[in-house]
Amino acid sequence: MSAPFLILETGRPVASMRRHRGFAHWIRVAAGLDADAAVVVDVERGAPLPPLRDAAAAGFAGAIVTGSAAMVTDRHPWSERSAQWLREAAHAGLPLLGICYGHQLLAHALGGQVGDNPAGREMGTVELELQPQAGDDALFAGLPARFPAQATHLQSVLRAPDGARVLARSALDACHAFRWGASAWGVQFHPEFGTTHMHGYLRARREALAREGRDPARLQRAVRATPHARRVLRRFVRHARTLAPRQPLGE
């Protein structure tokens, strides 16, 4: 039996979308993982993370970090504890994928800079532009040079960690994806979001968007499927499983 994936749950969806369950469930389903192929740790609510015994980061094929309504710059104790764990896990070689907040948290953990996006809120189906360094990347190689993805965020990775490769950008965010080392990725977009999720988020934020001078109705009309973004998530799962098997976790 394949080793399971660890999902670090860092927050909940907007209230109107919780009838569809939570981020960890959305990620598991979009990644094509069976229920017994994922272990969820709710770090936002104080659940402890498993110890990293050695460079094998034993017992899991990889770890995925969810989105959150929290801000990395608020430095919540649970967030800082998670960042320390991610830093150790990345150096240990455990395959990692941070999504939205997880992307920012991983960048922060590895010495990058996170802050308010100078361009303001980025929300809706956005167009990503791959950077030259994506050409030989395990998750992005062979994807179209431009493709749509779902996004909703106020903060961004303003400076990628030293040594990281920036893999994708959008019109409003210069670091929509990065890879650090051989097996740690951050993506600002939401590969787990379908059109239902994106429409729901736009409805929940329509008043804020209108205050900011955005047209919520136009953004709703522009929502479309994002199959290439979902491929990134599934490729992470496949790639992590090709790496050497790990021993069970232990103290």
% of the chain residues with pLDDT over 90? 91
Residue pair 166/177 in contact by the 8 Å Cβ criterion? yes
Looking at the whole model, is its pTM more than 0.85?
yes
Q: Tell whether 227 is covered by a domain.
A: yes
How many Cβ atoms sit within 10 Å of the Cβ of residue 173?
Answer: 22
pLDDT, the chain, mean: 94
Q: Tell whether 132 is covered by a domain.
A: yes
228 annotated active-site: no
Among 9, 192, 228, 239, the one annotated catalytic? 192
3-class SS at 54?
Answer: coil
Among 9, 44, 100, 175, the one annotated catalytic? 100
- Mind listing the pLDDT tens digit for each residue in 73-124? 999 999 999 999 999 999 999 999 999 999 999 999 999 999 999 999 999 9
Q: How far apart are CA 108 and CA 112, in angstroms?
A: 5
Among 108, 153, 190, 228, the one annotated catalytic? 190
Strand partners, 198: none
Q: Tell whether 56 is covered by a domain.
A: yes
175 annotated active-site: no
- What the block records as the tokens of 191 is 């590969």
Instruction: Please state the rounded mean pLDDT for residues 163-180.
Output: 98
Q: Tell whether 250 is covered by a domain.
A: no
Q: How many helices (H) and strands (E) does the chain have?
A: 7, 11
The CATH number for 16's domain is 3.40.50.880
How remote is the C-alpha of 154 from its chain's centroid?
14
- Mind listing the pLDDT tens digit for each residue in 110-152? 999 999 999 999 999 999 999 999 999 999 999 999 999 999 9
Q: Tell whether 41 is covered by a domain.
A: yes
Q: Name the band, by pLDDT with cuts 50, 70 and 90, for residue 58.
A: low
Q: What is the pLDDT of residue 245?
A: 54
Q: Tell whether 251 is covered by a domain.
A: no
| Number of domains observed in the structure of the chain | 1
- Mind listing the pLDDT tens digit for each residue in 182-231? 999 999 999 999 999 999 999 999 999 999 999 999 999 999 999 999 99
- What the block records as the tokens of 111 is 């010495």
Q: Tell whether 249 is covered by a domain.
A: no
Domain coverage including residue 238: 5-242
Q: Tell whether 248 is covered by a domain.
A: no
Q: What is the pLDDT of residue 1?
A: 65
